[in-house]
Structures are given as C-alpha cells and as structure tokens.
Amino acid sequence: MLLLPSLCKSHEIKEDTIKKIIQQFIVNNPDLIQSSLDNHKINLEKQKIQKAINALKIIKNPGVFQKNANITIYEFFDYNCGYCKSVLKVVLETLAEDKKLNFVFVEYPILSQDSYIASIAALASKKQGLYNDFHSSLMSLKGRISEKEIYKIAKKTGLNLEQLKIDMKNPEIKNQLLQNREIAKLLNLNGTPAFIIGDIIYPGAINKNNLKTIIKNFRES
C-alpha cells in the first residue's frame, strides 16, 4: 500500500516530462509542425473532392463521354454566368481535339430564377436526346437568359415544347439540382464556373492552353 503514492508520483513526473519534451519539440521545429498540418489539410481536401466525385458519379449528370477516356472533367455552371459562357468555346474545342476526355456538365443555377428554369429545361431535354445541343445553344445566348428565351431556343434546337414542359415537372430533376447544390456546398463552391480535374478544384474561367496543360500534367502524374 505504501508504494501507491510513489507510483502515482512517478507517473505524474513522467507525464509532465513527456509534455515538456513535446512542447519543446514544437517550439524547436515550427516548420515541421506546419508542414504536417499543411499535408493533413491537403489530404482532407483530396478526400472531400473524391467524396464529391463519387456522389457526382451516382447522380449521372449529362455530358460528353468518350469510349477510351482516361480523364473526366466536371464543370459547375450557371446559364446566366458570363464567365461560363466565355469558356464554352474552350470546352467544345478541347473535346473535339481530345478523344480520351470525358466532360460532365454539372447544372448549378445560383444566379437567378431564370437560371434555375433553364437548368430544369436542360435536364428535361435529356428525355428527347438533345441535352448537349440545347446546352450549347443556351450557353451561346448573348446577355441574360429569360424563360421566354429558354423556350425559343428549345424550339430552335428541335425540342418538342409540349413534351419538354411535361418532362420539366419530373421531381427527379429538382432532386438532381438539389444534390448538385449539396455537392457544391461540400466543396465550398460559391461561384461559377468551377472545374474539378483529377483531385483539384479550379475556380473561375480557364483558357484553352491552361486547360490542355492541366490535362497533360494530370495524365503524366
């Protein structure tokens, strides 16, 4: 029984000594500690992006899918986003030149109610097999889009307007947009466009040369 106080005291001394050693190590090695924290942050970010990509795969957003693709790019966009419209040509030209590239269009209407209606109409157009054509036409519109313009463009694209309006009422479309929004929230995306290439997020518009370089670097990594 007399040994117990001694054991407790010994334990306290050892614990106190260990704490001092750790504290001194932190003081003497701030760069190492910061590097460890930075690496941990990077790993968490990569895990978050991978979680988002897995969710996007389940949702099955529309896009351009090529048989021998070895890389997939995800673009979050809004039909009233001027910067999104400015990269349309970059996207189309890159897809035409690179036959090993998948490109997924993630509808993310955040700028207006008309943007939301445009996204619903675009997703509904999948039923008639004209999503990609309709998407490009909506993105090519100069200025802000309106509900009237949406249906005007839909008709020019060859969509059956009566059927389109019926398909737009499908609750699965609103659910898909909600899921896209939740994924964007997970990734802290507050604006458009935003691209996911590999395990890195690239916010904002991107030019063709930069996009090709990013793709090249990803394939070589």
Terminal C-alpha separation, the chain:
64
In angstroms, what is the C-alpha Rg of the chain?
Answer: 25
Cβ-proximal residues to 131 (8 Å cutoff; 6+ apart), any chain: 62, 105, 122, 123, 125
pLDDT at 135: 98
The tens-digit pLDDT sequence of the chain (221 residues) is 445 555 555 555 577 777 777 777 777 777 766 776 767 677 777 787 888 888 888 888 999 999 999 999 999 999 999 999 999 999 999 999 999 999 999 999 999 999 999 999 999 999 999 999 999 999 999 989 999 999 999 999 999 999 999 999 999 999 999 999 999 998 999 999 999 998 889 999 999 999 999 999 999 98
Q: Answer whether the bond into residue 30 is a cis peptide, omega within 30°.
A: no
CA distances from 99 to 11, 63, 213 (A): 66, 14, 16
Cα(81)–Cα(181) distance, integer angstroms: 16
pTM over 0.85? The answer is no
Specify the pLDDT at position 115. 98
88 and 117 in contact (C-beta within 8 Å)?
Answer: no
pLDDT at position 49 = 80
Please count the CA atoms within 13 angstroms of the CA of 118 that sit on its side-chain side.
31
Q: What is the pLDDT of residue 165?
A: 97
Between the alpha carbon of residue 137 and those of residues 48, 71, 89, the distances in Å are 33, 25, 12
CATH superfamily, region 48-220: Glutaredoxin (3.40.30.10)
Separation of CA 95 from chain center: 18
**Burial class of residue 103 (count of CB atoms within 10 Å of its CB; 0-12, 13-18, 19+):** buried
Q: How many angstroms separate the CA atoms of 58 and 75, rounded? A: 16
Q: Bridge-partner residues for 194, per DSSP? A: 76, 203
Q: Output the pLDDT for position 157.
A: 98
- Burial label for 119, CB within 10 Å (0-12, 13-18, 19+), is buried
